[in-house]
Amino acid sequence: MSRIGKKAVDLPSGVSASVSGQTIEVKGPKGTRNFSATDDVTMTVEDNTVKITPRGSSKRARQQWGMSRTMVANLVTGVTAGFKKELEITGVGYRAAMNGSVLKLNLGLSHDVEYTAPEGVTVTAPKPTIIEVEGIDEQAVGQVAADIRAWRKPEPYKGKGIRYKGEFIFRKEGKKK
């Protein structure tokens, strides 16, 4: 039995969900998102809750049960509160600035890096050393944050680079004489 799958997803006020076949569509104040589940689970909407049940007792059905419930919960969270990732830039001369809708990064390379976020994801730089990535799709927000971080991953000796807020970087000791 899936502990996660057993829990019903509550729909807060202002959020509506509709199921058609294996696709659920969730509408909320921030937008509309949908998810297509596999044929191994059944989704139903009853009394402001979404219930997911497996169709059978196979291993795949039990796996899809918990995953589908989590995906629906993420849809509800996305259309109500949204998702946000913060990145911190550490290093002398490393900074970020917004140039219209383009993020301009100075990362010690021979050129400035310009990054344009995909549709549905908002990138802001409130301070030269902080980057905020926001949106209603958790996967897209995480991917954009990972793409930005990939330009200059934190290195273990001085800790310079782009890191997630709260990320721990294991520091190494330099060579000795």
Kindly tell me if the per-residue pLDDT of 1 is higher than 80: no
Q: Which two tokens stand for residue 75?
A: 């849809």
Q: Which two tokens stand for residue 141?
A: 């927000």
* Cα distance between residue 167 and residue 162, in whole Å: 10
DSSP one-letter string for 111-128? S-EEEEPPTTEEEEEEET
Q: How confident is the model at residue 5 (pLDDT cuts 50, 70, 90)?
A: confident
Question: Can you list the domains of the chain with their CATH numbers?
Answer: 3-80 (3.90.930.12), 83-164 (3.90.930.12)
**What is the pLDDT at residue 148?**
96
Tell me what the mean pLDDT of segment 67-84 comes to: 94
**What is the pLDDT at residue 99?**
92
Q: What is the pTM of this model?
A: 0.87
**What is the pLDDT at residue 106?**
94
Tell me what the mean pLDDT of segment 71-96 comes to: 94
Q: Kindly report the CA angle at 172 between 144 and 160, in degrees rounded to 5?
A: 40
Kindly tell me if the per-residue pLDDT of 56 is higher than 80: yes
| Torsion sign (Cα): 62, 46, 76, 19 | positive
Q: Give the position of tokens 């076949």.
A: 21
Residue among 43, 45, 61, 74 nearest 1 (CA): 61
Kindly tell me if the per-residue pLDDT of 163 is higher than 80: yes
Q: How confident is the model at residue 68 (pLDDT cuts 50, 70, 90)?
A: very high
Kindly tell me if the per-residue pLDDT of 29 is higher than 80: yes
